[in-house]
Amino acid sequence: MKAVIVLRHEPSVSMGSLADTLAAAGLGVRQFDLFESFPESLPWSEAAGLIVLGGTMSANDGDRLPFLVAELHWIRAAIQRQVPLLGICLGAQLLAKALGAAVYRNAQQEIGWHQVELLATAGYDRLFRGRSTQETVFQWHGGTFDLPPGAVLLAQSPLCRHQAFRYGAQSYGLQFHVEMVPELMENWLQEYESNESTCSGSRVEPAAIRAAATAAFPAMRSFSHCLLERFAELCKESRQKQ
């Protein structure tokens, strides 16, 4: 049975709403916890799609985290094999880097609930079409990237221009956490609070993020479900073609 391959970088990073969305679409999952061990290659013959999740490290940390170097090769292989690909936060930065773009610190951190602006290009995109020009998303990042050559920018925000892009017909990078659910958000906030003294320079306001969540999660849910369900459809089509 073909399945969606999911690459995980840290124990605190989970699939969130992705798990239910893929299950509802009848798609299996093959998860690799790269922080424990990583394979020499991925099982491409079994792959209906590839999802690269987030993490607190940088896409430029391959010297101390060798699995990041391996991921760049896997991302290029997925594109060459026409396997649908979704990179989230760090995953988007890895996709950009794999395509030859620079990854670097953003001018400031973007953490918590924010609005992203969907550009005119989004109206013609399979995942984004039909959505509002302003959508609520959850952010947790300090890095950003240049738009890769040949990529199409789909969304931007005042604090970080490159919020979503597509490369080719079915490779997507999302800077925001489209998979966020209340349990995952709370886990991240509690982890931050337990390590706050070592998180110098972080602009995290747990109380404000929690207070905004009551209204923000319903506002984000339609958008996130739309993107993830449409990506799942891409994976189902890919599985049928192979």
| Residues forming the active site | 89, 177, 179
Give the three-class secondary structure for 147: coil
CA dist 121 and 112 (Å) reads 26
By the 10 Å C-beta count (0-12 exposed, 13-18 middle, 19+ buried), 215 is classed as exposed
Encoded amino acid at 184, one letter: L
Q: What share of the chain is helix, strand, coil (3-state, %, to 5)?
A: 40, 25, 35
CA dist 62 and 69 (Å) reads 5
Residue 83 CB neighbours (<10 A): 24
| Cβ-contact 230, 22 below 8 angstroms | no
**Tokens for 219?**
């506002």
Longest Cα separation, the chain: 51
Give the three-class secondary structure for 135: strand
Smallest CA-to-CA distance from 191 within 57, 52, 13 is with: 13
**Tokens for 185?**
């958000």
Cβ neighbours for 69, distance < 8 A, ≥ 6 positions apart: 62
